[in-house]
Amino acid sequence: MELAVRIYLEPNDYAHRNYCAEGAIAVLLSTWTDAVPSLDAIGVAARVVESYGTTGANAVVAINSYLGQITGTQRYAYSGTHVTSLAVFQQQLEADLSGLGRLVGAGHGSPILVHVMTATLPGWDGYQAQHMIAVIGYNLSAGTPGADTVTYAESAGSVAGYNGPEVQTISLATLWNAMQNYNQDVTSDPVTVIS
């Protein structure tokens, strides 16, 4: 299953090198509206810090503010969680992308956003940075993390250290490893998954 989304790339300049959360938020919002705000506007709403990026908590506030305006309700509100269980992550992934749970009334699924460290992800050539991506698809039919796959939108450019395609498909195990690296390396931001 893969969602129909629009991909939003960070402007490939030094000032926007840490706008990965804004790119991921824009991808998420594209499942809700055609009038997606600019990355700079999302950055203001999410309180981006040019030298660091956006915290998970601030990303959640920005998403829910936009969704409240788009839908006129808080019924579909997102929350940020600190996920340490692969089973819990898979449940979040399947519920949001399939449009189940709190999204059942929306009539569509929506990406989930995850914080990762980049060194083990394709296109980063071992470069280690804090990063946020929008997971837009999955295939869990194999039944094992090494063979199951996830697909995500990649907003970063070469200035941020990324040299690869706008959409990547990797094993669930590879994504989970990058998420756990974030859990270990970044203790100041407890939000690892926004769903």
| Mean pLDDT, rounded, of the chain | 95
Q: What is the mean pLDDT of residues 181-189?
A: 85
94 in a domain, yes or no? yes
pLDDT of residue 184: 86
Question: Nearest-CA neighbor of 118 among 185, 23, 49, 58?
Answer: 185
What H or E segment, with its residue span, contains residue 167? strand 167-171
Tokens of 134: 């929008």
Q: Is residue 23 a part of any domain in this protein?
A: yes
* Rounded Cα distance, 144 and 140, in Å: 8
Q: Which residues contact 85 (CB under 8 A, 6 or more apart)?
A: none
Mind listing the pLDDT tens digit for each residue in 19-62?
999 999 999 999 999 999 999 999 999 999 988 899 999 999 99
Per residue in 96-138, pLDDT tens? Answer: 999 998 999 999 999 999 999 999 999 999 999 999 999 999 9
Structure tokens at 23: 């790119």
Contact 46, 56 (CB under 8 A): no
Find all residues with CB under 8 Å of 41, minimum gap 6, and list them: none
Backbone phi, psi, residue 10, to 5°: -65, 140
Rounded to 5 degrees, φ, ψ at 61 are: -60, -45
Q: Are 155 and 10 in contact (CB under 8 A)?
A: yes
In a domain, 8, yes or no: no
Judged against a pLDDT cut of 90, whether residue 18 lies above it is answered with yes
Residue 155 lies in a domain: yes
CATH number of the domain to which 172 belongs:
3.90.70.10
**At 185, is the pLDDT very low, low, confident or very high (cuts 50, 70, 90)?**
confident
SS3 at position 117: strand
Amino acid sitting at position 18: N
Domain of residue 52, residue span? 14-194
77 falls within a domain: yes
Residue 187 has pLDDT above 90, yes or no: no
* Domain contains 127: yes
Within a domain: 88: yes
pLDDT reported for residue 50: 86
* Amino acid 83: pLDDT: 93
170: which residues sit within 8 A by CB, 6+ positions away? 121, 122, 149, 150, 152
Total structural domains in the chain?
1
Question: Which residue in this structure is represented by tokens 């998954």?
Answer: 193
pLDDT, mean of residues 146-173? 96
Residue 3 has pLDDT above 90, yes or no: yes
Q: Is residue 9 part of a domain?
A: no
Q: Which two tokens stand for residue 60?
A: 């959640």
pTM score, two decimals? Answer: 0.95
Q: What percent of the chain has pLDDT over 70?
A: 100
Percent of the chain at pLDDT exceeding 90:
92
> CA separation (Å) from 151 to 62, 64, 77, 98, 125?
24, 24, 23, 14, 19
Residue with tokens 């280690």: 128
Q: Residue for token digits 């990547």? A: 168
